[in-house]
Amino acid sequence: MDTINYLLQGFEVALTPQNLLLALIGSFLGTLIGALPGLGPANGVAILIPLAFTLGLPPESALIMLTAVYAGAMYGGRISSILLNIPGDEPAMMTCLDGYPMAKQGKAAEALTISAVASFIGSIVATIGLILLAPLLANFALSFGSAEYFALFVLAFATLGGITGKNPVKTLVAAAIGLMMSTIGIDISTGQPRYTFGMLELFEGIDFIIAIVGLFAISELMFFIERHMGDGDSMVKMNKLKINVKELIAVLPTSLRGGVVGFISGVLPGAGASLGSFLSYTVEKRILGRKNDFGNGDPRGVAAPEAGNNGAASGALVPMLTLGIPGSGTTAVLLAMLVSLNITPGPMMFQQHADIVWGVIAALLLGNVLLLLLNIPMVGIFVKLLSVPPKYLMPIVTLVAIVGIYSISHSAFDLYFMVAFGVLGYVFRKIDIPLVPIILGLLLGPEMEKNLRHAMMLSDGDWTVLWSSGLSIGIWAIAIAGLVLPYLLGPLLRRKMHKPS
Amino acid sequence: MHINDRLFGVVFLLLAVAYGWQAQQFPEPLGGSESIGPSTFPTLLAVVLGLGSLYMMIRPDPDSGWPVGKTLFELIGVVVILVVYTALLESVGFIIMTTLAVGLLSWRMHAPPLKAFLTGLISAVVAFVLFNYGLELTLPNGILELG
């Protein structure tokens, strides 16, 4: 019953006029970010972080806004999938399969409505799952010692590429580079400056918001220029919505199942939203058997992946909130936000910052209601905005990001640093070094080193302490599986995911 | 071709060695009571990166093409625009520099020049007003004499 009390308290936090307004703004911006191809949810949230800082928001408000952005981005991805046949973000890939055919048959409005309802149901199912599972997991995680945490960090990096990832070694390389960046600055426990080269600006370490905006936003701009994507793509015309309740009810079971499948793949390390939407599409196809018309504009083929990726998005918050281990790029960015607000994520957060945790969960429920309202009657606004070509939008977005950074510190040094990160991000993306592990490394580095120190101090320098308990051995085993499985299962799964598209 | 991964494998290996070597130079904490000093974690990372870079050299992925000629020039142009923007932001001022930067970028993305710089001007003014008066964060006026 505690849970319900906490949740009610959460609603009290989320329902203040200011937070409600922020949730609405977040939902709107999130949908927009999700809809624009090329501006993925991780980028979008990253760009908005400096903005949340400059607004001087209290932690819970900032987090509510960004959670709404996060949820919104998952809704937005479907719009360009359906109208342009280009996924707005990676998890929306599967929505193209039936969404675009539907739009071509003159049922774009129906496809958008059905997918919005499915997104809503998937999200709600998964948020209920989150409410039930998160406190249990947080309680369990209280028994973790430093050695377990160290192993858990390794697990987070090992599984970050996902079992569909192409080259786990590159994930590891990226993680090492990120962790190395995190050691720049004064060592907290000994006061020893490390890798600062005598530069005063480096003594406090690298600010990861600068790294995030540089790596994501600036490199994205460079990619747009390189690929001459300035003009945008042609869009299917919108039609007048004629939908009946019966059609909506018909996709309900599909959406519910999709939400559950999505939630599970969101919680599991190494799965994530893309796999969530893929799995729920495939599972649904199996369940429906011969009754399906998947691939030719079946409404259920639109509902399943959308419920799946939204479910996974909420599910991914479970490890992020309870263990401080993000399961995806976007949750990593959300985690960055928490850390920069001086909140240490993890099981203690449920005790020390219960109001924030439950405020966010309540905001997630509320945000979904807002998103449903935004995405059905007002979907036309997003369609209009989507027709603004990137050649105008991308420079503006980039400049907003830069101004955000500048307004935090008023330091030109930070801006140069950000441009350097942009070039680095561009080069890394060219050689397939993923960027999210870098951010995550920069973010989790200090905690990881601290836990290693604690564990080693207690054991008097005996390294075996790191794998001495059953729990830590289990975590190491999953981490190793996370590195090995992509080689065994990866090619197979990747082929299956790409065959239908 | 598999040059990219081999080349960057070498770069990362050099980085790992330099980083790891530097880690050994940190003085041991006083008294040496701590079983793990400031150099342990960095050493661990250097080993991980070193192994990863060796793997990249031994089993490289196929290359993706690098931009050449005009595209490369355009990309360098973007970086130059951003660097110049940063360098002159405080002395010349936010509105002028933002108009120029957004205008140039959007022109380089094939927008007609007039429309591009108009977009720049509008976004600069809106952002300036929003930040300076709405959020009360001062963006540099520069050579424009404003309020």
Q: What is the DSSP string of A68-92?
A: HHHHHHHHHHHHHHHHHSS-SSGGG
Q: pLDDT tier at B10 (50, 70, 90 boundaries)?
A: very high
Given a contact cutoff of 8 angstroms between Cβ atoms, the answer to whether A253 and A305 are in contact is no
A474 interface with B at CB cutoff 8 Å = no
Going by C-alpha positions, the residue among A240, A291, A271 that lies closest to residue A91 is A271
As beta bridge partners, residue A186 has A193
AA letter at B68: V
Of the two residues A39 and B100, the one the predictor is more confident about is B100
Going by C-alpha positions, the residue among A321, A369, A307, A362 that lies closest to residue A126 is A307
- A-chain CB neighbours of B26 within 8 Å are 192, 194
For chain B, the straight-line distance linking the first and the last C-alpha, in angstroms and rounded, comes to 59
As beta bridge partners, residue A193 has A186
Look up residue A46 and give its two tokens: 């990253």
Rounded CA separation A66/A340 (Å): 13
Question: What angle (nearest 5°) sits at the alpha carbon of residue A132, between those of residues A359 and A316?
Answer: 70
B90 interface with A at CB cutoff 8 Å = yes
- For the segment B2-27, the average pLDDT, to the nearest whole number, is 90
**3-state SS, residue A209:** helix
Rounded CA separation B111/B124 (Å): 17
- pLDDT at position B52, please? 92
Given a contact cutoff of 8 angstroms between Cβ atoms, the answer to whether A433 and B15 are in contact is no
Give the position of tokens 């909420």.
A314
A264-318 per-position pLDDT tens digit: 988 887 666 777 888 888 888 888 877 778 888 888 888 999 999 899 888 988 9
- B-chain CB neighbours of A452 within 8 Å are 36, 40-41
- pLDDT at position A501, please? 46
- B-chain CB neighbours of A464 within 8 Å are none
Given a contact cutoff of 8 angstroms between Cβ atoms, the answer to whether A138 and A130 are in contact is no
| pLDDT at B135 exceeding the cut of 90 | no
**3-state SS, residue A41:** helix
Given a contact cutoff of 8 angstroms between Cβ atoms, the answer to whether A269 and A482 are in contact is yes
Burial grade of B31 (CB within 10 A; 0-12, 13-18, 19 or more): exposed
Rounded CA separation A318/A340 (Å): 20
**3-state SS, residue A58:** coil
Given a contact cutoff of 8 angstroms between Cβ atoms, the answer to whether A230 and A219 are in contact is no
Rounded CA separation A26/A406 (Å): 22
Rounded CA separation B140/A67 (Å): 32
- Which residues of chain A, if any, have pLDDT below 70? 1, 38-39, 88, 162-165, 229-235, 241-243, 270-272, 327, 497-501
Chain B residues 22-81 with a CB less than 8 Å from chain A: 22-23, 26-27, 29, 34-38, 40-42, 45-46, 48-49, 52-53, 55-56, 61, 64, 66-67, 71, 74-75, 78-79
Give the position of tokens 């995911």.
A497
Q: What chain A residue is nearest to B104 in terms of C-alpha separation?
A: A395
Look up residue A286 and give its two tokens: 């199996």
Q: What are φ and ψ of residue A186, in 5° steps?
A: -80, 130
Given a contact cutoff of 8 angstroms between Cβ atoms, the answer to whether A109 and A240 are in contact is yes
Distance from CA of A391 to the nearest CA of B (A): 5
**3-state SS, residue A189:** coil
- pLDDT at position B54, please? 93
CA A483 → CA A149, A155, A172, A318, A495, distances in Å?
18, 9, 9, 22, 19
- For the segment B63-90, the average pLDDT, to the nearest whole number, is 88
Q: Which residues contact A399 (CB under 8 A, 6 or more apart)?
A: B98, B101, B102, B123, B127
Chain B residues 125-144 with a CB less than 8 Å from chain A: 127, 131, 135, 137, 139
Given a contact cutoff of 8 angstroms between Cβ atoms, the answer to whether A29 and A21 are in contact is no
**Mean pLDDT, all residues of chain B:** 86
- B-chain CB neighbours of A401 within 8 Å are none
Check CB contact under 8 Å for A403 and B119: no
